Amino acid sequence: MNPRPLALALLLLPAFAPTTSHAARGFEVRDLATLDRVSTPTLSPDGRKLVFAKRVVDFAANKASTSLWVEDLFARDAAPPERLTPEGWNVNSPEFSRDGQTVYFLSAKSGSMQLYAIPAAGGTPKQVTDFPTDIGSYKLSPDGAQIAFNAEVFDSCGSDFNCTLKQLKEREDKKSTGVVFDRMFIRHWDAWNDGRLNRVFVAALGDGKAPLKTAKLVGKDVLADVPSKPFGDATEYTWAPDGKSLVLAARKADREEPWSTNFDLYLVNADGSGAAKNLTTANKAWDTGPVFSADGKTLYYRAMKRPGFEADRFALIAMDLASGNTREIAPKWDASADGITLSADGKAIYTTAGELGQHPLFKVSLDNGEVSQVVGDGSISAFAFAGPTLAFTRNTLQTGDQLYATSLDGAPLRAITPSAGEMLKDVGFGNFEQFNFIGWNNETVHGYVVKPWNYEAGKQYPVAFLIHGGPQGSFGNGWSYRWNPQTYAGQGYAVVMIDFHGSTGYGQAFTDAISEHWGDRPLEDLQKGWAAAQKKYAFLDGDKACALGASYGGFMVNWIAGNWQQPWKCLVSHDGVFDQRMMGYATEELWFTEWEQGGTPYVVPKKYEEFNPVNHVAKWKVPMLVIHGQLDFRIPVEQGIGAFTALQRQGVESKFLYFPDENHWVLKPQNSVLWHDTVNGWLKAHLGE
C-alpha cells in the first residue's frame, strides 16, 4: 500500500497539544498511582487499525484492570479511540488475525486465563480455548490455523492438563505441609517452586464453533521453562514460516540452573514428534529472541558471549539454518539490542536499545550492519509496524507512556493518547536537564537534574539524590511507576541522578566496570557527580540533601552510610543488600552474585567482604529509613531487618517500613501511596518543605 494515504490522514488529524493551563500544584504519588497507562501497540496487517491496551486503576478497590481500544488510522475525520473489549473484562496480549478481521487476546473472564477472539470492528468476545490451566502467552501460526501457547504443568503429565490439576489438588488435601527439595530453585522472585514448568503446546484453531480443549506438548525433551520465569514472554518462542516447527529459547531446569545463563535455541516439531535439535550448543552464554526470515532459511536472534553474566551485550546474530553458520550483524554497534522485528522487505531489523540516557528505536541493516535512529528523544517502550504504519509508545522524565502513530516514510507524529500533563491539567512537572562530568578513570559520566515543579530563579532547594538499581540500569530520560523523580519535584525538591559506571546505554565497557567493584568506582562517580551538579546548578542546596536508592541503590545507600556520611541529612534504603556474604547464599539467581563478586562466597570470601556494608556498621550515624517486602526473594527481607537492627541497636534515628505482600517492587496502588507518603515524610522531617 502506498504510504501517502496514511501521511495525509496523519496531517489532517490533530495531535494532542501541550496543556497551557496554569499549574496549581506539583505531581504527587496519588497522581502516579491512578494515571491511565497505555501499552502493547498492535497493528492490523494493512497498518490501518491500531489496537492498544489501556490500564485503569480502581484506587478504592486497590486493583487495576486493562481493556483494549481501537483506532482507524486512515479515517479522514478525527475521532478518539473506541473501546473494543466490553466493560468488566480484564485483558492482555492482543494479536490480529492474519486477515485483520479479528483480534485475539487473553482474559481470565471464565475463571482461568484463556484465549478469546473479538471482531476488529467490535462485537461480542468468543472464547477460543477452554483448558483447565491458565494460558501464559500465545502466538498464532503464520497461516493463522494454529496457536502455540505456554501453560504451567508437571513434567510427568505431558499434555494431560487435568493431571496437573489433580496433582495440585492432592497436595492441597494433604494434612502435612512440609516440602522436600532436592535442587534449587526452591523459590524464585516472589514464589516458591511447586515443581511445575512453563511448557509450550500447539493446538489447531479448527472451525471455531467450540472452545479448544486439547493440545500437543512440543519439545518434550526440552525440560525447561519456556518462557523463562519470572519475566519471560512470547518472544522466547517462534513459529517457522511453514507452520511445521518452532524454535524455543530455553535454559535447562536442572541442578545448575540457578547459576547458569546458558539459554539455547531448540528447533522442535509442531506436531510434538521427534527430538529437539539444539541450534546454539556451541555458545554457553545466553541465546534468545528467535525470529525466522520469510523464506525460513535464516534464523535471527540475540546472543551474549560471556556465560554467567546477565548484563552482557546482546548482539544481533543471523544463522544459516542449512549450514548452521552464524554471523554477527552489527559487530561495531556498541549497544545491547532489546529485541528483533524484521522489516517487511526482510532487509533490516528494528530494535530498541539504550543510548546516552535515552532509549531510541533503531533500524539495523542486515546487509552491512549500518545502524540508524528512527525515533529518539525519550524511551521507546514498545513499537509495531505493518503496511505503511509505525506505532510506538514513548515516555520521558515528564510523561508516562504516550502512544504515537506515523509512517515509515517520515510522516508527522500523531499522538493517539494524551500525555500525563494533558490528563492532569492542574499539575506542573519539573523541567530536567542532562549534564556530564569526569568520573572514575577520567571517563565521561552522565547525570540528570530535575528542577522542583515550582522552581524560581535565584532560590535554593533541598535535594533528593536518587541512586538507581541493577546495578546495570539507568536513571535516564524515561518514566517510572516506582522511582519517579517527578514525585520528589512535586514536593518542592530538586532531584539529582547519576548514571555511574555500571549503568547501561554508554557502551559495554562502561557497564562492565562495576562488576567486582560495587563500592569504589560507582561511589567515586556519585561523589564527583554530586560535586559537579552543585557547581553547575546554583539552585541545589548541598546542605539539605538525602540519598535514596533501591536494590543495588539500596546497597549503595547502606555503603554510603559507612563510607560517605558527610553531605547527607537522611538516607532511604529500599530492598538493599546489607550483608554481601549472606546475600551470596540466600538469593535465588546465583549467577548474579557470583558474577558481580567474582565467584562463590566460599571460593572468594574476600571479594564478598571487600564492599560489604555490614563491616562498616559501627560508622553509621545518618538517620535512615529502611524498606523491605516479605516476598522479595532476590534480596531477602532479612537484609532489611539486619540494617534496621544495626541502626536501632546503635541508637541511630531510623524507621522500618515492611510490606508483607510485596516483592522486590511495591506494586499495589495503596501500598505505593503508603511507600511514597512514608518516604516523603522522612524527607520533610530532615530537609523541611
Please check whether residue 326 lies inside any domain of the structure.
Answer: no
Q: Do both 66 and 162 map to the same domain?
A: no
For residue 4, the model assigns a pLDDT of 35
Tell me the per-residue pLDDT of 515-563, one tens digit each, with 9 for 90 and over: 999 999 999 999 999 999 999 999 999 999 999 999 999 999 999 999 9
pLDDT in tens, 255-295: 999 999 999 999 999 999 999 999 999 999 999 999 999 99
Is 313 part of any domain? no
Rounded to 10°, the helix 521-536/552-563 angle is 80
Are residues 59 and 166 both part of a single domain? Answer: no
How many Cα atoms within 13 Å fall on the side-chain side of residue 571? Answer: 32
Mark which of 252, 286, 320 sits at the end of a domain.
286
Q: What would the pLDDT profile of 560-578 be if each residue is shown by its tens digit?
A: 999 999 999 999 999 999 9
Query: Using a CB cutoff of 8 Å and minimum separation of 24, what contacts does 359-368 make?
Result: 359/476, 359/477, 359/478, 359/505, 361/392, 362/335, 364/316, 364/329, 364/330, 364/333, 364/337, 366/318, 366/329
445 and 511 fall within a common domain: yes
**Same domain (yes/no): 406, 433:** no
Q: Answer whether residue 3 shows pLDDT above 50.
A: no
- Separation of alpha carbons 419 and 19, rounded Å: 9
pLDDT attached to residue 410: 76
417-431: average pLDDT: 96
Mean pLDDT estimate for the chain = 95
pLDDT score of 14 more than 70: no
Rounded Cα distance between 687 and 67, Å, is 42
Domain count, the chain: 3
Range of the domain at 86: 1-13+26-123+377-419
Catalytic sites, residue numbers: 551, 632, 664
Residue 183 confidence (pLDDT) above 60: yes
Residues 561 and 594 in one domain: yes
Q: Are residues 557 and 601 in the same domain?
A: yes
- The pLDDT tens digits of the residues spanning 162-178 come to 999 999 999 999 999 99
pLDDT of residue 365: 98
- Using DSSP, state whether 458 is helix, strand or coil: coil
| Other Cβ atoms within 10 Å of 57 Cβ, number | 16
**Contact predicate 577/554, CB 8 Å:** yes
> What's the pLDDT band for 76 if we cut at 50, 70, 90?
confident
The average pLDDT across 632-640 equals: 98
From CA 323, how far away is CA 495, in angstroms rounded?
54
Question: Is 133 found in the same domain as 119?
Answer: no
Lowest-confidence range among 1-5, 187-191, 600-604? 1-5
258 domain residue, yes or no: yes
What average pLDDT does the segment 488-513 reach? 98
Identity at 183, one-letter amino acid code: R
Is the pLDDT at 468 greater than 80? The verdict is: yes
Q: Are 410 and 393 contained in the same domain?
A: yes
pLDDT classification of 130: cutoffs 50, 70, 90: very high
Q: Which of 409-423, 594-608, 618-632 has the lowest mean pLDDT?
A: 409-423
Measured CA to CA, the distance from residue 426 to residue 215 in angstroms comes to 53
Instruction: Identify the band that residue 394 occupies on the pLDDT scale cut at 50, 70 and 90.
Output: very high
Q: Are 559 and 520 in contact (CB under 8 A)?
A: no
* 357 belongs to a structural domain: no
Same domain, 408 and 505: no
18 belongs to a structural domain: no
In a domain, 315, yes or no: no
CATH number of the domain within which 666 lies: 3.40.50.1820
Whether residues 4 and 49 fall in one domain: yes
Are 21 and 13 spatial neighbours (Cβ–Cβ below 8 Å)?
Answer: no
Q: State mean pLDDT over 380-408.
A: 96
Looking up cell 524527607 gives 683
Q: Give a yes or no: residue 593 inside a domain.
A: yes
Residue where a domain stops, chosen among 358, 391, 419:
419
Q: Which residues of 323-348 are buried (b: 16+ CB within 10 A; e: fewer)?
A: eeebeebbeebebbbbbbbbeeeeeb
Question: Is 325 part of any domain?
Answer: no
Q: What is the pLDDT of residue 18?
A: 37
Q: Do 511 and 586 sit in the same domain of this protein?
A: yes
The confidence band for 411, taking pLDDT boundaries of 50, 70 and 90, is confident
Do residue 86 and residue 135 come from a single domain?
A: no
Q: How far apart are CA 579 and CA 561, in angstroms?
A: 14
Q: What is the pLDDT of residue 13?
A: 37
Cis peptide before 185 (omega within 30 of 0): yes
pLDDT bucket at 502, cuts 50 / 70 / 90: very high
What do you get for the CA distance between the two ends of the chain, in Å? 58
